[in-house]
Structure 1
């Protein structure tokens, strides 16, 4: 009998959480058989799961990187939002049928999905216990308004999108109601109307906030590990800004605008800090000016960010939890409301009192960045606020215990 992990094949956070949980299960019960159904960033994550002694089943015909192409058009109606994006990405009937086959192939005992509706529905059909790991309390479309989409520059068919929201909400409620357990690394907000349904799941004991679902934090000497990663990446001894783009982009133009903004911020700050360098993690190699180091991806970035003066990052939730667990000063940047899937986490981080920035105005972002680079007091206050997301770093262990309790 096998525990099967089914991370959503969008972005890298879903894979990372599945990996962190599987590693903790391996530590608690070394004899348990584990399989991951891997559908994105296979070249990066296949060896990482293999190292954790998790069998890898590649469920995509070719390596997939969802950061390298646009997913939406500027007109948002049923066809463009639902038929062309949400259905193939989250509610694909072919993938549900294939998922059922994968469950039979490995004699599945428990399904652990990471925000993967296909896996949740397939587990329900197969009569298998399902642990839903989710950074979202509904489909992203349900949690944004038509007005917000219009602010992002979209032409919106309100009637069709409202019908889609109602249907998607029904689907998500079915998945949470049929799951054996629901766990999240995102704290709910007491008075946030969008969290009302999820808070009721928490109050009824069906859902649980567990804290960051991440790999173990670096345990070695911070200075030594920082020096090692600097040598590996060719960095000097001055302050370093780490800047990233999201693992999934709705519009490539937003990704490019964000990169341009980061580079502009770097040039502005470098005038004040001549030894400043930037590591730009752009999901692909990018031509950059002197002082900037371009990486497509860095699987184990914790030693780097622990040594960084500042992070400039989108509000992707796995990134949020790692930053909070490590206490790294960061500005969370939403490039545009057209990146609709980032609106809700961005607003949540703002409500938590984190440093956030809307848009790609490099002048304003540079001011916010320098405010953290130059102020130990501001960083200390920020680290205290981070505790709402990361009271401790042991979320993956808690999820592993929940999963094993269902055997």
Structure 2
């Protein structure tokens, strides 16, 4: 019996651990602080502190009932001696802490619900004001529309108003009363600025219309200056022609004479020491020709496959395929041909059949550019300049070794590379080429 009483008053061991387990847990945390260290401060509660009494809802009532049940159970078990005093006190402390935390959460929830309700009420009030203003504007618009319709009806029923002439009829009568001798001032439109492309196209067309004539070249002796050479030439021409008309261009140590009339042309042609350079034949470029087509096959295909263009055997006899452009070993290349003016008129801007390909034809007015001196009209293989000129910065070095950041054209001194398509020197060289090309008489 003594043993039974000893067992009855023995501390009750809970599932998952006994008093030792609770003691270990409590040794690491202060009572009621849910694991917060002794040196740490708990964060502040929500603004306003805890309320004296929370509003009673189903959730809070249920939580209070559960916590009250736990407290009552612990107290009963403590009175029955089934729980140790220390264990019961610790459990009651934890339950009290649970009640405090639950009340804090409930208070914060009610505060947030109140804020949300206040914002919702303010939004509804603003919406009501906006709807009222919108309805007022709508009513004002309807009133103005009704007033306008009433004015229209009154104006149509008033005979005096209906007979009044309109502004258009008054203006028409005023124009009819103006005498024919009086002319109204004309409004001149402001001149439109032409684009660079349009100006360049017009200049090319003008250069092409210039009649090409023979040029004459004479070398200046080493012991003679350019001025003395021009003076001696002038005296020699004046001796045979009283009124010569010609243009003289200095090209290095040579003089280029371009006669402007037939009389001067015959006089200079009869003189010695002049090298005559006839007008240049036009050239046409044929795009996207099969890479396997040879020179002979090219002329044969042009003659046999393009009868609708009126190309004859004599035309092909006077035409010479010069060279290819593009990748020479590629599937398609561009052929450049020198043709008479009559053949150019038949092929320019036309489509021709060559083999199994239909190719475009255009006037070829591109000049070769030297990679050594960057000048136009020759290639580096025929360049006589010993010191190279850089294509990028115009410096006296090879373009492939240039390390300069700035860009400068060696020909026109502009802020671009010498190979740029916007170079003024390129345009001048192209226009000069067109002026020296014989395009025949205009149709």
TM-score, with normalisation over the residues of structure 2? Answer: 0.20
- The structure whose RCO (Cα within 8 Å, separation 6+) is larger is 1
Of structures 1 and 2, the larger Rg is shown by 2
